[in-house]
């Protein structure tokens, strides 16, 4: 199948493009490169061993999307494009609403105009808000505490409405937990601008000597070692989850389906720092800092629905997540050619 990946040059999109090509599908990337570099495409092509089609454009440009969907004879869309920083979303809510919401509405209009009926959407575990119980299953109540989370929640609601109104639409909302790691080649991975907000890229830069130490945001949570617990999932496992979702939609037909993509295992900040030190052979100096506002103590997935219905489970462990991140850091980022 020919699949359009909006935001396909980004962190998760590029890994999903590799997985799609590996499974014999054809990937067409659609990206405005607002948070990715053009040379990621060459590195991606080195991995898959052939050219990959790329369209530079903004998802809010409905006319362009329509032309691409029609001319390229696209069979399904995976919608990654959007802004994703929780902190930035509180400072620039309008940018988040226009990019994420308007972008999705534009895509839906283009899909309707061209008769493309299959959509996989990048949602997030952030839609669960403060956990009322753990592990988080798909029926857990949803809420949002910041504009980024609200865009994900609102998009899920829009998709449910559009799905109810159009009996042909096949929609899968994938709620990602904490994607980390990189492709085993070390050619593509996560490359945040400036000082990373997220734990794994921050630790990688401490190991690389670019940052002096890790600030542990709170060591007094009600968790086994007092630090925050998350469900880190290898980005290649996550990418394979998108393949499983496309296959599921093709088999099961129209509907609006929701799946957690996580491992089901919680890992604390200190456990991740220790695993990274082990994988990289570098010390990760750390200092306890105040809690980060808005953080929850623990968040991890119940994964049975994805296992039973999609036939998908995460296979890669913490060591592989850290080793691949370190390989990307040393082979690509330290050479100044990040994703
Ligand atoms: P990313 O920033 O690396 O990738 C997003 C891509 O979309 C970038 O290449 C960017 O240039 C592009 N883009 C942004 N706005 C666009 C627009 N208006 N038109 C066209 N292209 C646009 O982010 P990622 O980590 O790969 O995340 C992909 C998706 O997954 C996002 O929707 C994000 O919210 C969601 N998600 C990510 C995480 C995470 O921790 N990385 C967790 C949960 C959900
Ligand atoms: N942390 C530190 N020091 C740091 C960075 C993070 O101690 O320098 C801690 C946090 O307090 C938290 C854990 O590491 O306990 C993980 O933090 P991240 O920022 O890596 O990830 P979050 O779980 O806070 O958020 C991520 C994405 C969100 C998404 C959410 C749920 O960034 O976009 O997962 O999917 F909404």
Mean pLDDT of 158-173: 97
Beta-strand (E) ranges in 284-329? Answer: 286-289, 298-299
Ligand 1 atom at minimal distance to the Cα of residue 99: 18
Ligand nearest to the CA of 195: 2
Q: What is the pLDDT of residues 37-89, one digit of tens each?
A: 999 999 999 999 999 999 999 999 999 999 999 999 999 999 999 999 999 99
Instruction: Find the ligand nearest to 103 CA.
Output: 1
pLDDT tens per residue across span 223-273: 999 999 999 999 999 999 999 999 999 999 999 999 999 999 999 999 999
Helices within 80-122 (DSSP H only): 86-91, 93-96, 103-114
Q: Domain map of the chain by residue range?
A: 2-335
Residue appearing with tokens 């052939």: 50
Q: How far apart are CA 126 and CA 176, in angstroms?
A: 9
Q: What angle do CA 233, 35, 124 make, to 5 degrees?
A: 35
Q: Cα–Cα distance between 310 and 54 in angstroms, integer?
A: 29
Closest ligand 2 atom, CA of 84?
Answer: 33
- Please give the CATH number for the structural domain made up of 2-335: 3.40.50.720
By alpha-carbon position, which residue is closest to atom 30 of ligand 1? Answer: 122
Which of 10, 98, 153 gets mutated to test ligand 1 (max ligand atoms within 8 A of its CB)?
A: 10
Active site residue 148: yes
């Amino acid at each position: 199948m020919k699949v359009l990946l909006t935001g396909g040059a980004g962190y998760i999109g590029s890994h999903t493009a590799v997985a799609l090509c590996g499974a014999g599908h054809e990937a067409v990337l659609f990206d405005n490169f607002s948070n990715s570099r053009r040379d990621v495409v060459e590195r991606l092509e080195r991995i898959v061993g052939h050219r990959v089609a790329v369209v530079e454009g903004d998802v809010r440009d409905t006319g362009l999307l329509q032309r691409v969907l029609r001319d390229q004879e696209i069979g399904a869309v995976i919608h990654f494009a959007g802004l994703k920083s929780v902190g930035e979303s509180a400072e620039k809510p309008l940018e988040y609403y226009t990019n994420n919401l308007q972008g999705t509405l534009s895509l839906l209009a283009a899909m309707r105009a061209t008769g493309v009926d299959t959509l996989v959407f990048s949602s997030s575990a952030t839609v669960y808000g403060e956990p009322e119980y753990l592990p988080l299953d798909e029926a857990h109540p949803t809420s949002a505490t910041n504009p980024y989370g609200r865009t994900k929640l609102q998009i899920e609601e829009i998709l449910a409405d559009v799905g109810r109104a159009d009996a042909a639409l096949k929609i899968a909302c994938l709620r990602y937990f904490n994607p980390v790691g990189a492709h085993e080649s070390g050619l593509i991975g996560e490359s945040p601008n400036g000082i990373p907000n997220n734990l794994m890229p921050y630790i990688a830069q401490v190991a690389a000597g670019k940052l002096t130490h890790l600030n542990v945001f709170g060591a007094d949570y009600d968790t086994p070692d007092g630090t925050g617990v998350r469900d880190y999932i290898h980005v290649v496992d996550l990418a394979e989850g998108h393949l499983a979702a496309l296959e599921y939609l093709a088999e099961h037909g129209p509907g609006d389906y929701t799946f957690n993509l996580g491992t089901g295992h919680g890992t604390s900040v200190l456990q991740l720092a220790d695993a990274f030190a082990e994988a990289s052979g570098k010390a990760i100096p750390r200092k306890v800092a105040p809690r980060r506002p808005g953080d929850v103590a623990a968040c991890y997935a119940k994964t049975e629905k994805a296992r039973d219905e999609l036939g998908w489970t995460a296979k890669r462990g913490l060591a592989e997540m850290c080793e691949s991140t370190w390989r990307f850091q040393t082979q690509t980022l330290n050479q100044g050619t990040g994703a």
